[in-house]
Amino acid sequence: MFNEKIQIGLKKQLNRELESSQLYLSMASWMECQHGSLEGISNFLYDHSDEERKHMLRLIRYINKRGGSSDIFMKSTFLEEVSYNSLKELFQKLFEHEKIISKEINSLVELSLQERDYFTYNFLQWYIEEQIEEEALTKMILDKIILVEKDKAGLYLFDRDIKNFHQKMKSSCKS
Ligand code: OFO
């Protein structure tokens, strides 16, 4: 029987991943509407929304494989209308969001040790690595945006950088 406390923790996390996916999606759409010329950034956000969905799926498959059930969620939610005063504000929110997710993952790791569930402990190591990358990535983007924010030419070049960086990441994931 799959440990009840662990199951509840993992189910909460899969809902957080779903929320993350929706957050990135709403940000991508806002970017596309408000800053259509900066398509490197909006494409990055759209793709990241898909990534977050994959993080959720990974949890669902794990819970089911361990004999639990993840058939408890999916209340249909409508995306709230979002708006940001600036690109900087958007990425600040994203960075804060990723830090919260990291904290939640850390608590789950702690719980898995308390409950002596070493399978789950091992499973969660992938999420730990992922959060290290995601915090670093959102912080790097935020820092760059702060540097070029008021400079239109700088923003254009930055968007091109994100596009190239993003392409490289996508092809390294495929190989
Ligand atoms: Fe799922 O990593 Fe971001 O939130």
Residue 161: predicted pLDDT: 87
Number of domains in the chain: 1
Q: Over the stretch 26-41, which tens digit does the pLDDT of each residue have?
A: 999 999 999 998 999 9
- Give yes or no for residue 134 CB within 6 A of ligand 1: yes
Measure the CA–CA gap between 41 and 141, rounded to whole angstroms.
10
Q: Assess contact for 11 and 72: CB atoms under 8 A.
A: yes
The share of the chain scoring above pLDDT 70, in percent, equals 91
Q: Please, is 122 exposed, middle or buried when counting C-beta atoms within 10 Å of its C-beta (0-12, 13-18, 19+)?
A: exposed
Q: How many CB atoms lie within 10 A of CB 158?
A: 21
Cβ neighbours of residue 141 under 8 Å, at least 6 residues apart? Answer: 91, 162
- Give yes or no for residue 14 CB within 6 A of ligand 1: no
> What is the domain extent for residue 83?
4-174
Residue 174: predicted pLDDT: 58
- Give yes or no for residue 98 CB within 6 A of ligand 1: yes
Out of 18, 27, 52, mutate this one to test ligand 1's pocket (max ligand atoms within 8 Å of CB): namely 52
Measure the CA–CA gap between 98 and 20, rounded to whole angstroms.
9
pLDDT at 13 over 90: yes
Q: Over the stretch 42-81, which tens digit does the pLDDT of each residue have?
A: 999 999 999 999 999 999 999 999 999 876 665 556 666 6
How far does the chain reach from its first CA to its final CA, in angstroms?
38
Measure the CA–CA gap between 103 and 98, rounded to whole angstroms.
9
CATH code of the domain covering residue 74: 1.20.1260.10
What are the φ and ψ backbone dihedral angles of 81, each rounded to 5 degrees?
A: -70, 130
Q: Over the stretch 74-124, which tens digit does the pLDDT of each residue have?
A: 555 666 667 899 999 999 999 999 999 999 999 999 999 999 999 999 999
Residue 79: predicted pLDDT: 60
Measure the CA–CA gap between 121 and 92, rounded to whole angstroms.
30
pTM equals 0.90
Residue 150: predicted pLDDT: 82
Cβ neighbours of residue 161 under 8 Å, at least 6 residues apart? Answer: 40, 144
Alpha carbon nearest to ligand 1 atom 1, residue = 52
